[in-house]
């Protein structure tokens, strides 16, 4: 057989995939009600035809912040359909013998790596295994259609074959399995099959299903924004004008709300995101008809505008390649996102922690085995005389030798040094507690005094002028999304006016409104930050941050550490917080900061006055870590915390407390709205002859332990005051550490003043009882002084 033989996939007549014996196992087109029965024999090439296009191609890219209005297209005339068919025929992939065999080799390599890991797990040489068996055909096809190091990849744990096709080696995958220090995916910090590779643009993957989807949208949106922001066009060295962002998911993940949020934003902005649904029919033990209304997510999403929807038999390697190439081309041409629904199988259990025999019938498992992509492609190669059985066996022997050699190397590779566990929790390159972030002393102030809102707004203006990478978005943050009305309206600029006039000054490409979806805000911001933009996003109220908790706790804060320093996402999240509003009630008065301060990798900042807010926000924007920047709503426009304006480079370092009142008999350690209440109580105590020192922490993670140590040693009596609930609140940590490390300096037990262990009520007289007041602090001072 000639090594230069080219195999061209030619459709025959107008037979649909589902009707042809060759593709009897493929999923039915969207308009059909039932798939055809499974045939045992693998498809001969001469009857292959790719799945039909199910969407009319939409119009060109929209302007920023003006998503196109898309009406339902009329049915295409016969002439148009004939043209599309001719185009599909012209676009059929031409594969040489070498390409076909390499395709098979990668599929086989992926399967045998799964088998090797299962063997190693049974030998207690590795600690976890989850396979990509049954998904190999569609994943190798995806890797062939896309470009490693050019396109971007957000895979999920079944995507072993994709990563091999992109260039990851068997040794690199086995290094992850044994948890080796040289594992390029996570350096021993994550389970195997949690892919990541900076050279290949495979962004570090986590375990939560679906969180990667919004990040992929943000990654693609970064390229979209770079094209629109004039100042960044020459700096876009890692952007390609026709790049595609690949993201994959299982059928179970399509039940997650973030799946729908991701589709919504990708379609609205016509972003080049290629969604690959690898539908093996099960989410662990839950079948697809239980997960999804009608058992077919393609039917549910078919009316998304600008979405190129394709279905294919993901166990058929050649059909998968044709469909993937068309989907990739659609994205490269800037027409919008594509969605490929690939029906695959799961011949092994969900993972080695699962036993599918407990919930799947033998008949069902046997039927799946007949659709095994390796078995089918093996038959294609033999039937078409691309290779004979001896040739295939030679490939299998070579793969086995390669895996055995890689296994020996992986098992001999050193484990991570225990001393490295604290590396990459925070940035090793930029330290926001360092002196270069401290020019507070002697800063010259000028102009009329402004509120906290005014000085935060000024900081955003000056920083956006300094750095064109800064992107501001969230709910209601723009002045007016419909730009044609900007000249006629005053503009919104946030519900508290903190972002007023930013859109007018810097344009809609840099300042824009998001959907009312907090996970959408944070997830997209992570994807943008991964590409080098600097998102400064707003969650409108702390009370509604919880839908984004997955993205904050399991993605944003963890990304750098879990990848061993390979990836980062230094997002700033501005969040109005707190009560004392007279009418804020349960859902506009929350203050649960301790939930966030205990998350490693996340900086938490909480200014009590206008000047501190300006300097600390600037530090937050210029540092290299994710920051939760809390802005107390009650303090936004208080006269007592106003300040003149500092210089445009004014910064306050993180972890530096401020002594706002000197004293020598008793110390109050506090932050936020309790600073002013503590000052008032301290002045009242002074009239009774008690000298009280008040420390404003300003920064909660990190906090200034040196300042705490100094004041405890100075006075010997300490009150920790905060707006959190008393039990398990932020002050509990401070009090416990003082008792643990500074007990010898104490003249009395550490006292806490905090909110009651309830929620904040609407009625003012109830709120006054629930939240700590000046009288509560004054009472604690008197009681502690008399101890």
The pLDDT of residue 348: 87
Q: CA angle at residue 592 from 587 to 593, to 5 degrees?
A: 135
pLDDT at 181: 96
Answer whether 94's CB lies under 8 Å from 45's CB.
Answer: no
Cα 568 to the center of its chain, rounded Å? 11
Distance CA 699, CA 781 (A): 24
Residue 476 backbone class (left: φ over 0; alpha: ψ -120 to 50; beta: rest): left
Q: State the 10-residue block means of pLDDT for the chain, 787 residues long.
A: 42 33 36 36 36 36 38 47 57 85 97 96 94 95 97 96 97 97 96 96 94 97 93 81 96 92 97 96 89 92 96 96 97 97 92 88 91 95 95 97 97 96 96 96 95 98 97 96 91 95 96 96 98 97 96 97 97 97 92 96 98 98 98 97 97 98 98 98 97 98 98 98 96 97 97 96 94 97 95
Q: Which two tokens stand for residue 441?
A: 């002393």
Q: Tell me which of 135, 187, 588, 722 is the catalytic residue.
A: 588
Name the residue among 383, 391, 390 with its Cα closest to residue 42.
Answer: 383
Could you give the residue ranges of the DSSP H alpha helices within 354-478? Answer: 362-370, 373-383, 389-412, 452-466
**Residue 511 belongs to what H/E stretch?**
strand 511-513
What is the per-residue pLDDT for 42? Answer: 36
> Would you state the pLDDT for residue 83?
59
Q: Are 502 and 460 in contact (CB under 8 A)?
A: yes
Token output for 787: 């101890």
pTM of the model: 0.88
* pLDDT (0 to 100) of residue 284: 87
Cα angle: 145, vertex 151, 153; to 5 degrees: 90
Q: Give me the residues paired with residue 755 across strands.
A: 725
Tokens linked to 676:
């002013």
E strands present in 572-647: 572-577, 603-605, 627-632, 643-645
Beta bridge pairs of residue 276: 248, 340
pLDDT of residue 54: 37
What per-residue confidence (pLDDT) applies to 89? 56
The predicted structure's pLDDT at residue 424: 97
The per-residue pLDDT for 352 is 81
Neighbours of 118 (CB within 10 A): 16
Across the beta sheet with 572-577, the strand order is 511-513, 470-474, 534-538, 572-577, 627-632, 603-605, 699-701
In this prediction, residue 353 carries a pLDDT of: 86
Q: How many CB atoms lie within 10 A of CB 484?
A: 8
Structure tokens at 512: 């824009």
Distance between CA atoms of 562 and 546, rounded to whole angstroms?
A: 22
d(CA 180, CA 178): 6
So what's the pLDDT on residue 341? 97
Query: In this predicted structure, what is the pLDDT of residue 349?
Result: 86
Q: What is the pLDDT at residue 649?
A: 97
CA 474 to chain centroid, in Å, comes to: 16
In whole angstroms, how far apart are CA 726 and each of 382, 737, 771?
73, 16, 10
Residue 507 sits at the vertex; the CA angle it makes with 501 and 512, to the nearest 5 degrees, is: 80
Q: What is the pLDDT of residue 33?
A: 35
Nearest to 3 by CA among 100, 98, 102: 98
Structure tokens at 363: 């008949």
Q: How many CB atoms lie within 10 A of CB 295?
A: 14
Helices (H), 58-210: 78-90, 97-122, 136-145, 160-166, 170-178
Whole-number Å distance between alpha carbons of 742 and 58: 68
Please give the distance of CA 529 from its chain centroid, rounded to a whole number: 10
Quote the pLDDT of residue 25: 37
Give the three-class secondary structure for 548: helix
Query: Is 632 a known active-site residue?
Result: no
């Amino acid at each position: 057989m000639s090594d230069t033989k080219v195999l061209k996939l030619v459709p025959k007549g107008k037979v649909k995939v589902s009707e042809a014996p060759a593709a009897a196992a493929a999923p039915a087109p969207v308009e059909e009600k039932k798939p055809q029965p499974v045939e045992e024999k693998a498809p001969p090439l001469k009857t292959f035809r790719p799945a039909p296009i199910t969407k009319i191609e939409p119009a060109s890219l929209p302007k920023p912040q003006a998503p196109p209005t898309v009406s339902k297209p009329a049915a295409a005339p016969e002439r148009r359909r004939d043209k599309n068919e001719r185009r599909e025929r012209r676009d059929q992939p031409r594969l040489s013998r070498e390409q076909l065999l390499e395709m098979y080799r990668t599929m086989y390599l992926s399967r045998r790596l799964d088998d090797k890991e299962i063997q190693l797990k049974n030998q207690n040489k590795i600690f976890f295994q989850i396979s990509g068996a049954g998904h190999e055909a569609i994943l190798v096809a995806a890797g062939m259609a896309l470009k490693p190091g050019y396109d971007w990849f957000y895979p999920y744990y079944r995507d072993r074959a994709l990563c091999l096709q992109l260039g990851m080696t068997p040794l690199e995958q086995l290094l992850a399995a044994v948890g080796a220090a040289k594992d390029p995916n996570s350096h021993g910090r994550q389970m195997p099959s949690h892919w990541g590779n900076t050279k290949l643009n495979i962004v570090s993957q986590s375990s939560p299903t679906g969180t990667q989807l919004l990040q992929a949208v943000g990654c693609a949106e970064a390229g979209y924004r770079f094209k629109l922001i004039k100042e960044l066009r020459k700096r876009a060295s890692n952007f390609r004008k026709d790049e595609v962002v690949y993201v994959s998911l299982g059928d179970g993940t399509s039940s997650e709300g973030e799946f729908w949020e991701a589709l919504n934003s990708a379609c609205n902005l016509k972003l080049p995101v290629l969604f690959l649904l690898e539908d093996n029919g099960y989410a662990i033990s839950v079948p697809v008809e239980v997960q999804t209304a009608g058992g077919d997510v393609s039917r549910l999403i078919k009316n998304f505008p600008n979405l190129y929807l394709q279905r294919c038999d993901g166990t058929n390697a050649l059909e998968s390649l044709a469909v993937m190439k068309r989907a990739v081309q659609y994205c490269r041409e800037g027409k919008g996102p594509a969605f490929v629904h690939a029906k695959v199988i799961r011949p092994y259990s969900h993972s080695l922690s699962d036993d599918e025999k407990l919930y799947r019938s033998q008949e069902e498992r046997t039927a799946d085995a007949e659709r095994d992509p390796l078995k089918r492609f093996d038959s294609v190669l033999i039937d078409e005389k691309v290779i004979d059985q001896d040739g295939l066996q030679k490939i299998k022997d070579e793969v086995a030798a390669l895996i055995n050699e890689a296994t020996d190397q992986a098992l001999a590779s050193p484990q991570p040094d225990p001393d490295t566990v604290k590396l990459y929790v925070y940035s090793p390159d930029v330290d926001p507690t360092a002196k270069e972030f401290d020019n507070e002393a002697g800063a010259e102030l000028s102009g009329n005094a402004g509120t906290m809102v005014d000085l935060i707004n000024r900081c955003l203006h000056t920083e956006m002028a300094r750095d064109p990478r800064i992107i501001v978005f969230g709910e209601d943050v723009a002045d007016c999304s419909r730009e044609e009305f900007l000249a006629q309206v005053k503009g919104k600029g946030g519900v508290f006016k903190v972002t007023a006039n930013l859109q007018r000054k810097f344009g809609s490409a840099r300042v824009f409104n998001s959907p009312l979806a907090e996970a959408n805000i944070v997830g997209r911001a992570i994807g943008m930050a991964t590409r080098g933009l600097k998102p400064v996003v707003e969650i409108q109220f702390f009370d509604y941050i919880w839908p984004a908790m997955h993205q904050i706790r399991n993605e944003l804060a963890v990304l750098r550490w879990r990848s061993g320093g390979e990836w980062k996402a230094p997002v700033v999240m501005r969040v109005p917080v707190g009560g004392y509003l007279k009418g804020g009630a349960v859902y506009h008065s929350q203050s649960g900061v301790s939930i966030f301060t205990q998350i490693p990798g996340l900086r938490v900042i909480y200014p009590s006055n206008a000047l501190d807010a300006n300097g600390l926000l600037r530090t937050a924007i210029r540092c290299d870590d994710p920051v939760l920047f809390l802005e107390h709503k009650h303090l936004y426009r208080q006269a007592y915390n106003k300040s003149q304006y500092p210089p445009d480079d004014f910064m306050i370092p993180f972890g530096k407390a401020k002594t706002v009142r000197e004293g020598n008999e008793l110390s109050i350690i506090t932050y936020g709205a309790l600073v002013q209440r503590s000052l008032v109580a301290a002045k009242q105590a002074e009239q009774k002859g008690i000298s009280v020192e008040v420390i404003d922490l300003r920064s909660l993670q990190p906090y200034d332990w040196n300042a705490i140590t100094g004041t405890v040693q100075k006075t010997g009596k300490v009150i920790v005051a905060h707006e959190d609930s008393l039990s398990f609140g932020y002050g509990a940590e401070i009090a416990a550490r003082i008792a643990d490390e500074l007990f010898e300096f104490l003249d009395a037990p550490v006292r806490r003043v905090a909110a009651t262990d309830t929620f904040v009520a609407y009625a003012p007289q109830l709120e006054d009882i629930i939240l700590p007041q000046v009288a509560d602090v004054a009472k604690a001072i008197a009681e502690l002084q008399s101890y």
